C-alpha cells in the first residue's frame, strides 16, 4: 500500500473513488486546476469538496456544487503543500466525460493532479517543483506514463474543460521533467 499512498504527503481519504477495472493499466497523467471560491487560494473548500463535506451555503458560487462527487489523487497548493486523497491504485473521479487517443473513461487508466490555481493566474515556482517531483516519481512507479501521456484536463475533455489553462507553463514543466 505504501506505493499507492505516499507517506511524505498529507493523506485525507476521499470517499469519491472506487476500484479500477481489473485490466486497467495506469498510463495517463492529467493536470487540472481548482480554487474555491474561484481565484481564492488557501481555503479549506477544495479538501471539503473532495471529501464530500463542502458547505454549499458557505459561498454563493458553491450552490452548483451541491451533491457533486469528485476527487483527485493529488492536490498541490500554492505554497507547495501536497495532499493525497485517493491511493494511486484506485480510480479517482477527476476526469469526467473524457477521451484520450480514442479511449473513453480516462479515470479508469489515469492519475489526476490538481494544481491550486486558475486558468489565467501564474502558478508558483514551488508548485512546479512539486509537480515535477511527483510526476517523475509517478513515471517511475507507472512506466506506461510517458511524456506523451501527460495532458491537461482540457486535452481529454475538449470543449468542456479549459484547465490547467493558459497560465500553465507546459514548456517549463516538460523541460524540468526532461532535465532530471
Active-site amino acid positions: 114
Q: What is the residue-wise DSSP string for 93-159? A: S-S-S-EETTEE-GGGGEEEEEEES-TTSPPPHHHHHHHHHHHHHHHHHSTT--GGGEEEHHHHSTT
Contacts of residue 43, Cβ cutoff 8 Å, sequence gap at least 6: 35, 36, 37
Q: How far apart are CA 165 and CA 115, in angstroms?
A: 11
Instruction: Find the helix packing angle between 125-141 and 170-179, rounded to 10°.
Output: 50
Q: How far apart are CA 138 and CA 29, in angstroms?
A: 9
110, 155 in Cβ contact below 8 A? no
Q: How far apart are CA 113 and CA 115, in angstroms?
A: 7
Amino acid at each position: 500500500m505504501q506505493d499507492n499512498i505516499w507517506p511524505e504527503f498529507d493523506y485525507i481519504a476521499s470517499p469519491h473513488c472506487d476500484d479500477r477495472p481489473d485490466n486497467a493499466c495506469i498510463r495517463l497523467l492529467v493536470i487540472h486546476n481548482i480554487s474555491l471560491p474561484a481565484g481564492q487560494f488557501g481555503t479549506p473548500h477544495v479538501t471539503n469538496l473532495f471529501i464530500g463535506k463542502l458547505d454549499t451555503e458557505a459561498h454563493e458560487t458553491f450552490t452548483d456544487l451541491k451533491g457533486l462527487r469528485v476527487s483527485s489523487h493529488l492536490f498541490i497548493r500554492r505554497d507547495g503543500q501536497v495532499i493525497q486523497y485517493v491511493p494511486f491504485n484506485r480510480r479517482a473521479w477527476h476526469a469526467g466525460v473524457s477521451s484520450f487517443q480514442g479511449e473513453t473513461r480516462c479515470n479508469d487508466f489515469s492519475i489526476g493532479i490538481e494544481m491550486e490555481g486558475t486558468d489565467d493566474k501564474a502558478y508558483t515556482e514551488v508548485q512546479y517543483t512539486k509537480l515535477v517531483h511527483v510526476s517523475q516519481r509517478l513515471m517511475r512507479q507507472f512506466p506506461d506514463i510517458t511524456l506523451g501521456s501527460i495532458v491537461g484536463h482540457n486535452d481529454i475533455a475538449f470543449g468542456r474543460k479549459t484547465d490547467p489553462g493558459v497560465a500553465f507553463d507546459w514548456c517549463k514543466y516538460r523541460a524540468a521533467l526532461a532535465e532530471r
